[in-house]
Chain A
Amino acid sequence: MSVLNPPRSAGTRNASGRKGTGRSFSAWANRHRKWLFAAPAMVFVGVLIVFPLAWTLYLSLTDSQGSVRAATDFIGLKNYLTVLTDMERFWPAVGRTLAFTGVALAFEVVLGMGIALLLWRPFRGEKWVRVAILLPLVATPVAVGMMWRLIFDPNIGFANQLLGAIGIPPQPWLSGQDTALGTTIFMDVWQWTPMVVLILLAGLTSLSDEPDEAARVDGANAFQRFFYITLPLMMPTVIVAILLRGIDALKTFDILYATKGKGGGSFHEVETLNVYAYGLSFDYNQYGLSSAVLILFFMIIIGIMWLLTMRKKAVSK
């Protein structure tokens, strides 16, 4: 503040010309402080969000491939047409992206709510339990992927040895065409349920006890109190958790790439939109096509988020 509004004595000490400049700058800064303070954030958004987005949009309308610097032709919406009629890679990837997100999210919210309810009331050793639950959250997703990949290795992995010890035949886990996506969903649930627990626990602790106590006096049982009182009151928090986790789950990349590699495995069994776009860019060097996929992906995310925010507004009212 003192920079924008120098004390009067400082101004008078300056030569007359500089005094005038200083005063007019400070007056200008005062008038525009709304913009001035927001400027760093605006530059940040411009450089890191608007510019890349605009560039991607531009690329998606060209036949850019091989090198981004090579001459490209403007081909209009042709890339979008190619992508939208691609039944082999694109639409299955859309399906997998939505399935991955939906199933992982459902498990994470239900499990997260259960764990949060258990942690809600104080108990002995609470601190230790909380630390233990948060551990998966602090691990790097790539490391998590590598770790589970070793555990789920069909021949030397721990998971199958464990199953063998109790007499169950080895399972293909990550290597099976039908089981790979489920296994990666399990990893995602393992890693991210703690985050949902954190958000929901914060919501639970901020709830007032009175409605719950009143229901108790009226003789409502635990289930009734949860479904008719706690859950409705928690809805805005639940939707925030879904929103935050949902965006993240939609763009999951690390776990999938670390476990199944390029193309999401030999049969593209875990290829989501993100993995597909990555392969188009880095393996096939088809930047135009890849950009079109990313723009469509972006639109899908915006659409889902818009629906969820609408829903949140509705339940908040």
Chain B
Amino acid sequence: MKRRSIVKYAAVAAAMSLGLTACSGGGGGSDQAKESGIVRVTLANHVWTEGIKAAIPEFEKSSGLKVELTQLGEDQLSDQYNVKLNAGSDEVDVMMYRPLQEGKAFAKNGYLADLTSKVSSDSSWDWKDYQEGPVKATTADGKVVGVPIITEREVLYYRKDLLQAAGLQVPKTMEELEAAAKAIKASSPDTAGFVARTGKSTAVTQFSSFLYSFGGDFIDSSGKASINTDAAKKAYAYYGGLIRNYGPANVSTDMSWPEAMAIFTQGGAAFYTEADSLYKNATDPAKSKVADKVGFAALPAGPAGSKPYNIPSWALGVNQNSSNQDNAWKFIQWATSKERTLAAQKAGVPGPRASVWSNPEGTSTYPKDLADAIAASAKNGVGHDRPEVITVGKAREIVGGPIVASITGADTAAAANEAQTAFQTFLDSEKK
């Protein structure tokens, strides 16, 4: 059994990395794990992980199990899953994964164990307490395959001091946002009016809220590509235009959140739209030069209203091939309990449990304006922040094309039409 899985592992790793030196193996004895009660947990580098890591000794003490933790960056985590799960490895028990990015592909490939009976087995743990959107995202073909741990909405980060100095109100609509960004850029050319992600693929999730607020979506209700509708074209032009006209000087088209956040926290921009779950980066004095000057507001309303995404960005699942599924579940049950979720949320991780949100303690550590923005966004939020397809990576590249075209000042409408054709072809190919 073991030998076969190693050969398979080698075959997949080799086939996928011929000519590359990107793969690194990690290993532990699989048979040992069954007997000695080790739970192998793979987590992403994330604020949620930091909190849970500190609490693991508590779990080890109460359960008698030993936790072997692997912690990786997002991309490396994806690559590890690609290699290990593809090879049918049993080396991972609990896995932190992104329901909207990998969920469909993992479910289709049968990588995730069915947790339906497990989630309903413990009423005090309370699966019903989970918000509807997150639950939907971790359910595949009627089966629960993951437990959400973090939720996210896009909010507006802004600089209170700059707005005050310019005599501006917090923008409530996209038009006001543009006017405010323009005014600030004009009064102090060194400060950008607006900053956000610019990378073709990385910007897609944050652009999505603009798309919805302009009345568009990536795929329409009949399942057809819809990224060249008037609404979509306007959204592309607006988002790219904000960055092109009022963004930082020499703006690159590779920025993900760490780069964009750095510009904002170094005091380089007045407005920034980003996931609320990253707010600590802006308000922590150790990380941010403008920690005490940051304000939060709900995403400004577009022609179709303020429609930010409201999604579960990460969840915990169990590897279908793990021989340690019961212990894996014990870990998840502990890590997602009401107490732990409350502790995580107080440490700055917006959780998926309704009871924690309705508990005043759950929002006690949040800046008041952020808590209000989150509450508003949760109400009118959209349940996805990227196209809901199997090969999300490819879809993001296609629908992100017009974003960078718009940022660089190319013909946005033409780019949207071109991307529409490519996206429809892509959608058709996935249906086969």
CB within 8 Å of B: which residues of A? 47-48, 51-53, 55-56, 59, 66-70, 153-156, 160, 170, 172, 174-175, 177, 251, 253-254, 257, 260-263, 265-267, 274, 277-279, 281-287, 290-291, 294, 297-298
Given A51-B11, A155-B248, A283-B393 in contact, is the A277-B19 Cβ separation under 8 Å?
Answer: yes
Contact A154 B87 (CB under 8 A): no
17 contacts between A and B (CB under 8 A): A52-B10, A52-B14, A154-B252, A155-B248, A170-B249, A175-B250, A175-B251, A175-B253, A177-B253, A261-B256, A274-B19, A278-B20, A281-B16, A282-B16, A282-B78, A285-B391, A298-B18
Report the Cα distance A279→B85, complex, angstroms. Answer: 18
CB closest residue in chain A, given B109: A67
B76 to chain A, nearest CB (A): 10
Chain B residues whose CB sits within 8 angstroms of the CB of A68 once the complex forms: 11-12, 15-16, 86-87
Bound Cα distance A274, B14 (Å): 14
Contact yes or no, A69 B86, CB < 8 A: yes
Query: In the assembled complex, which residues on chain B have CB atoms less than 8 Å from the CB atom of A67?
Result: 85-86, 108-111
Provide the bound-state CA to CA distance between A155 and B15, in Å: 40
- Assess A287 versus B15: contact at CB under 8 Å? Given A175-B253, A274-B20: yes
Chain B residues within 8 Å of A156, by CB: 262-263, 266
Q: Is B390 an interface residue (CB 8 A)?
A: yes
Extra A-B contacts (8), CB below 8 Å, given A53-B18, A55-B11: A47-B10, A68-B12, A68-B15, A155-B263, A175-B254, A262-B201, A262-B393, A263-B397
A266 touches B404 (CB 8 A): yes
A155 touching B20, Cβ below 8 Å: no
Produce 1/0 per residue, B336-358, CB < 8 A to A.
Answer: 00000000000000000000000
Q: What's the least CB distance linking A184 to chain B, in Å? A: 13
Closest residue of chain B to A281 (Cβ to Cβ) is B16
Residues of B within 8 Å of A, CB-based: how many? 50
B19 close to A154 (CB less than 8 A): no
Contact partner of A253 among B20, B85, B108, B393, CB < 8 A? B20
Q: B268 at the A/B interface (Cβ < 8 Å)?
A: yes
B22 touches A (CB below 8 Å)? yes
Q: How far in angstroms is the closest Cβ of chain B from A80? A: 16
Complex alpha-carbon distance, A51 and B134, angstroms: 43
CB < 8 Å neighbour of A56 from B15, B79, B393, B397? B15
Contact A175 B82 (CB under 8 A): no
Whether, in the assembled complex, B153 has its beta carbon less than 8 Å from a beta carbon of chain A, the answer is no
Complex CA gap A47/B390 in Å reads 33
Q: Is the CB of B105 within 8 A of A155?
A: no
Interface string of B66-92 (1 = CB under 8 A from A): 000000000100110010011110000
Chain B residues near A290: list those with CB within 8 A: 16
**Cβ A155 vs Cβ B268 within 8 A:** yes
Which of B12, B18, B253, B262 contacts A265 (CB under 8 A)? B253
Most buried by B among A68, A69, A251, A274: A68
CB-based contact B14/A265 at 8 Å: no
The smallest beta-carbon distance between A288 and chain B, in angstroms, is 10
Q: Report B's interface with A, CB cutoff 8 A.
A: 10-12, 14-22, 75, 78-79, 82, 85-88, 105, 108-111, 198-201, 248-254, 256, 259, 262-263, 266, 268, 390-391, 393-394, 397, 400, 404, 408
Q: Which residues of B contact A278 (CB under 8 A)?
A: 20, 22
A274 to B18, CA, bound (A): 9
Instruction: Please measure, in the bound complex, the distance between the C-alpha atom of A287 and the C-alpha atom of B248, giving whole angstroms.
Output: 39
A66 touches B105 (CB 8 A): yes
Separation of A286 and B15 alpha carbons in the complex (Å): 12
In the bound complex, what is the Cα–Cα distance between A69 and B11 (angstroms)? 11
A48 to B14, CA, bound (A): 8
Contact A253 B21 (CB under 8 A): yes
Q: In the assembled complex, how far is the CB of residue B397 from the closest CB belonging to chain A, in whole angstroms? A: 6
User: In the complex, what residue of chain A is closest to B268 when comparing beta carbons?
Assistant: A155
Docked complex Cα distance between A59 and B17 (Å): 13
Measured between beta carbons, the chain A residues less than 8 angstroms from B263 are 155-156
Q: A290 to B394: give the CA distance in the assembly, Å.
A: 14
Do A298 and B19 touch across chains, with their CB atoms under 8 A apart?
yes
Distance between A211 CB and nearest chain B CB, rounded to angstroms? 42
Contact of A285 among B82, B248, B253 (CB under 8 A): B82
Chain B residue numbers with a CB within 8 Å of A59 are: 15
9 A-B pairs with least C-beta separation:
A175-B252, A52-B14, A154-B250, A283-B393, A266-B200, A67-B109, A266-B253, A266-B404, A68-B86
Question: What residues on A are CB-neighbors of B88 within 8 Å?
Answer: 69
- Min CB distance B276 to A, Å, is 24
Among B79, B111, B400, which residue has its beta carbon within 8 angstroms of that of A282? B79
Provide the bound-state CA to CA distance between A278 and B23, in Å.
Answer: 11
Task: Report the minimum CB–CB distance from B131 to chain A (whole Å).
Answer: 30
Complex: A260 Cα to B254 Cα, angstroms = 7
- Say how far A30's CB is from chain B's closest CB, in angstroms: 32
**Which B residue's beta carbon lies closest to that of A277?**
B19
Q: Do B199 and A253 have beta carbons less than 8 Å apart?
A: no
The residue in chain B whose Cβ has the minimal distance to the Cβ of A294 is B18
Q: How far is the CA of A112 from the CA of B18 in the complex (A)?
A: 29
Which residue of the partner chain A has the closest CB to B87?
A68
B15, B75, B108, B252: the one within 8 Å of A262 (CB):
B75
What's the Cα separation between A281 and B88 when bound, in Å? 17
Which residue from chain B places its CB closest to the CB of A58 in the assembled complex? B15
CB distance from A169 to the nearest CB of B (A): 9
Complex Cα spacing A281 to B394, Å: 11
Chain B residues, CB < 8 A from A287:
15-16
Task: Give A297 Cβ to nearest chain B Cβ, in Å.
Answer: 6
Q: A261 contacts which chain B residues (CB < 8 A)?
A: 75, 199, 254, 256
Given the complex of chains A and B, what is the CA–CA distance between A291 and B19 in angstroms?
Answer: 11
**Complex: A277 Cα to B22 Cα, angstroms:** 12
State in angstroms the CA–CA spacing of A51 and B10 once bound together.
10
A291 to B17, CA, bound (A): 9
Neighbour of A284 across the interface among B75, B200, B256, B394, CB < 8 A? B394
User: Residue among A53, A156, A260, A279 with the most chain B CB within 10 A?
Assistant: A156
Q: From residue A261, how far is it (CB to closest CB) to chain B in Å?
A: 7
Q: Which residues from chain B contact A52 at a C-beta distance below 8 Å?
A: 10-11, 14-15, 18
Q: In the complex, which residue of chain B has the Cβ closest to the Cβ of A63?
A: B432
Residue of B nearest to A64 (CB): B15
